[in-house]
Amino acid sequence: MNHDSSSSFQGDLKAEHIERYSRQLLIKGGFGVEGQLKLLNSSVLVIGAGGIGSTVILYLAACGIGSLSVIDFDDVDVSNLHRQVIHKTNDVGMNKAESARRAVENLNPTLSCKIIKEPLTVNNALELISSHDCIVDASDNPQTRYIINDACVLSGKPLVSGSAMGIEGQLTVCNYKGGPCYRCLYPKPNVKEGNKSCSDNGVLGPVPGLIGILQAVETIKIITGTDDVLSDRLLMYDSLQCSFLRIKKPPKQTHCPVCGPEATITSMKECFEASQTARGPSCSLAKSEPRNISNSLSISCTEYDQIRNSGDTHILLDVRGKEQFDLCSLPGAINLPLGSITQQMEYISTISNGTKPVYCICRRGNASVMATNKIVEGLQKYPNIHSVKNITGGLTSWRSKVDKSFPNY
């Protein structure tokens, strides 16, 4: 206990700590001074400074976590700002971890905030995770989640895991006091679900923010030793229904490859081999053009721009979903989502009428390749379709090479 003759009071906390954290110090039920001291002496690693990480970082910093580390290799983009509230417009182009540190220092300069401006990989995960008391997974791809989980199990660290997509989110605590790990809950990556991203499927801004706040609460409970940590439950949130559902998780699995008695993942090398089928940070956005279409069936955006400027009559099919088409489109484009192309072949044949070539476009040039191939397959049955070509690179390429005023989303 502090009892300095030069001090006007005695107690285990400094005056500045009492003033800053007084409202949570007054909480009944065992938190108080003892809980605050545990927070001040703790270290937490937050992996990801995006939509979920934003609120996790801010609330953990505000509550007095002594040492906070943030890892994120990505830069702030203007499309992040509707949900990643830790960043500001002036931060666009800055590394997210650096931007987060600035926000933390402005909010609570009494704590230590360290940043890592590189991806979390099998090469650095164990070293980073083992040096912290609690780990918060605020990442946005399945491969990283499995790497985090395995490193937490191997180093004996509790993991607070959260995710959000569209209008829904979920939260759980893994590897806590011998409880189930992430692989117990999700033994194998769901390839179909894992390929989803906020960039493609959208997300309601407050949803990841709420999940992040709940992760901060669970982290505080773990550090302070509060009972009823969300270790044996999965919490699911539906924003449209404003509903929370707590689902009992399966117990720790005896056949789990990382935390089971006959574990086959005993090092990060084995984790790497077991996580290869999951989407990783390098492919969080589908940027590359598929190579399953011949050059004769493709034209560049600049070539298509010349066709538009020449006034040649043609059909432009925009094969994105309606939600994306309603955001922005090229004048004169007809919206036929990829999934409807086969059913709309008669219609395409009618509007082409043997005289108008058909061009397919999408966001990045991926769906339009598939649409072009589908139409090509039907040419024999529908000979009235004059011709069909894919516009390489889609609207993303159109913006960069033809019209920089076209919205980027």
Nearest of 200, 227, 210, 136 to residue 170 by alpha carbon: 210
Known binding residue 141? Answer is yes
Residue 153 CA to residue 162 CA, distance in Å, equals 17
Annotation-wise, does 134 bind a ligand? no
> Was 41 annotated as part of a binding site?
no
In terms of residues, how long is the chain? Answer: 409
Residue 288 among known ligand-binding residues:
no
**Residue 301 neighbours by CB under 8 Å, 6+ apart:** 391, 392, 393, 397, 398, 401, 402
Residues in contact with 162: Cβ distance below 8 Å, sequence separation at least 6, in sequence order: 52, 56, 136, 137, 138, 169, 170, 171, 172, 211, 212, 214, 215
Q: Is 356 annotated as a binding residue?
A: no
Residue 36, token pair as written in the block: 């605050």
84/61 Cα distance (integer angstroms): 16
Q: Are 212 and 219 in contact (CB under 8 A)?
A: no
233 is in an annotated binding site: no
Residue 285: helix, strand or coil by DSSP?
Answer: coil
Say whether 79 counts as a known binding-site residue.
Answer: yes
Structure tokens at 55: 């609120």
**CA gap 253, 261 in Å, rounded:** 9
Give Cβ neighbours of residue 51 (< 8 Å, ≥ 6 apart).
80, 83, 84, 164, 198, 203, 205, 207, 208, 209, 212
Q: How far apart are CA 160 and CA 25, in angstroms?
A: 24
Task: State CA 29 to chain mean position distance.
Answer: 35
What gap in Å lies between CA 353 and CA 337, rounded to an integer? 21
Tokens 């030069």 sit on residue: 6
| Tokens of residue 228, six digits | 């009823």
- Catalytic residue set: 198, 362
Confirm whether residue 140 is marked as ligand binding. Answer: yes
Q: Tell whether 242 is in a known binding site.
A: no
**CA-based nearest residue to 373, from 271, 292, 265:** 292
Q: Which two tokens stand for residue 81?
A: 């700002």
Is residue 82 a known part of a binding site? yes
Confirm or deny that 51 is annotated as ligand binding. yes
| 301 assigned binding-site residue | no
Query: What is the separation of C-alpha 285 from the centre of its chain, rounded to a whole number of angstroms?
Result: 11
Pick from 55, 47, 60: which is nearest to 139 by CA? 47
Binding residues for Zn(2+): 181, 184, 256, 259
Annotated binding site for ATP: 51, 72, 79-83, 96, 140-141
Q: Which segments are annotated as binding site?
A: 51, 72, 79-83, 96, 140-141, 181, 184, 256, 259
